[in-house]
């Protein structure tokens, strides 16, 4: 069985990886009962419960979950990357486009996102 690598302190977390890891833990629950896997299972279950109701594109066990979680400290970079991916910033951008206040842009983008707490760190999703 392949083990899903899951870093709950990453800048970007994919909810599908959380689900895959939880399914792996459930598949080996009898074999490893009473060990650290129980703690990880509880943590991941609680995280998915916190994500329920926030909308999203991933359906699992009758609930919908957002796919992407963005760490608060990475959200400014995420906003810039998103604008670039959407073609909103031309590749040859010069003044004034190269003078965008990305902190303000990130704050305004964040209005469309919901926050969830993972081990004391805020992650944003929509």
Mean pLDDT by 10 residues, the chain (126 residues): 80 96 86 70 93 90 95 97 90 80 95 93 95
- What are the domain boundaries of the chain? 12-125
Question: Where on the phi/psi map is residue 17: left (φ > 0), alpha (ψ -120 to 50), or beta?
Answer: alpha
The pLDDT of residue 55? 83
pTM: 0.85
């Amino acid at each position: 069985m392949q083990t899903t690598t899951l870093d709950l302190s990453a800048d970007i977390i994919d909810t599908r990886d959380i689900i895959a890891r939880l399914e792996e833990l459930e598949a080996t629950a009898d074999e490893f009962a009473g060990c650290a896997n129980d703690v990880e299972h509880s943590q991941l279950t609680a995280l998915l419960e916190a994500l329920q109701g926030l909308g999203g594109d991933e359906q699992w066990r009758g609930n919908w979950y957002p796919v992407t979680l963005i760490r608060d400290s990475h959200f400014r970079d995420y906003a810039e990357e998103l604008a670039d991916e959407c073609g909103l910033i031309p590749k040859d951008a010069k003044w004034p486009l190269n003078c965008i206040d990305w902190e303000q842009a990130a704050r305004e983008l964040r209005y469309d996102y919901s926050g969830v707490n993972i081990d004391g760190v805020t992650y944003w999703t929509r």
